Amino acid sequence: EAGVAQSPRYKIIEKRQSVAFWCNPISGHATLYWYQQILGQGPKLLIQFQNNGVVDDSQLPKDRFSAERLKGVDSTLKIQPAKLEDSAVYLCASSLGQLEAFFGQGTRLTVV
Amino acid sequence: KNQVEQSPQSLIILEGKNCTLQCNYTVSPFSNLRWYKQDTGRGPVSLTIMTFSENTKSNGRYTATLDADTKQSSLHITASQLSDSASYICVVTRSGGATNKLIFGTGTLLAVQP
């Protein structure tokens, strides 16, 4: 089966600019996660969707980060405006019920 | 507080040697525990997943154990290879009714040297 697809793989932007990441989960997976992974650390959950509804966005910096999941399938994560500390790898994952989560390759964001 | 702690933080071993990575958790209610391997610049890939009733699970040269009473897990790597160099992340799923939450450890960075 096809895995979780993310794009772009890499992105370099200047601080205060905007950026958007895209994720296509595995077909049929109701749960979709966005994680932020800073170098040398474990992934930190930003937002979790169940179909197209948000079930956990407690750690999402809502003043600059936003995410949506159109029709319960694809998802986009946006940062506006970006700060230097947003430099990280942004991972998207999907799962079917309580089974294991499958991760995409991630988008490496560098803010200069 | 729901936490997952891993040790050691980093480890260097020679090719062909065995090693064991540790994971302690305080997550409740517990659903399952997973070990992921994350190569540099790539997303995590699942190695094993264990539920409450499972004590051990193997995937090739990787063997995971789970002691649900003491809330400890270990990942044993046998006859290490250079390609085993990666970060190994322990993830515990916290049950939440219709939705579950993944609690991540910070990972153990393993370097296998020739």
Distance CA B81, CA A35 (A): 29
- Residue A12: the pLDDT is 97
- For A31-84, what is each residue's pLDDT tens digit? 999 999 998 888 999 999 998 899 899 999 999 999 999 888 999 999 999 999
Look up tokens 């409450």; give the residue.
B52
Quick one: pLDDT at residue B98? 63
Where does the pLDDT of residue A93 fall: very low under 50, low under 70, confident under 90, or very high at 90 and above? very high
Cα of A76 to nearest chain B Cα, Å? 18
State the average pLDDT over residues A82-104: 90
Q: What is the pLDDT of residues B40-52, one digit of tens each?
A: 888 999 999 999 8
pLDDT at A1 over 60: no
CB contact under 8 A, A48 and B32: no
Mean pLDDT of chain B: 93
**How many C-beta atoms lie closer than 10 Å to residue B7's C-beta?**
13
pLDDT at B10 over 60: yes
Query: What is chain B's percent helix, strand, coil content, to nearest 5?
Result: 5, 60, 40
Burial group, residue A2, by CB count within 10 angstroms (0-12, 13-18, 19+): exposed
pLDDT digits (tens, 9 = 90+) for A8-17: 999 999 999 9
Check if the beta carbon of residue A45 is closer than 8 Å to that of residue A54. no
Mean pLDDT, residues A22-34 taken together = 94
Q: Chain A partners of B99 at a C-beta cutoff of 8 Å?
A: 31, 48, 50, 55-56
Instruction: Please report residues of B whose CB lies closer than 8 A to that of A42.
Output: 89, 104-107
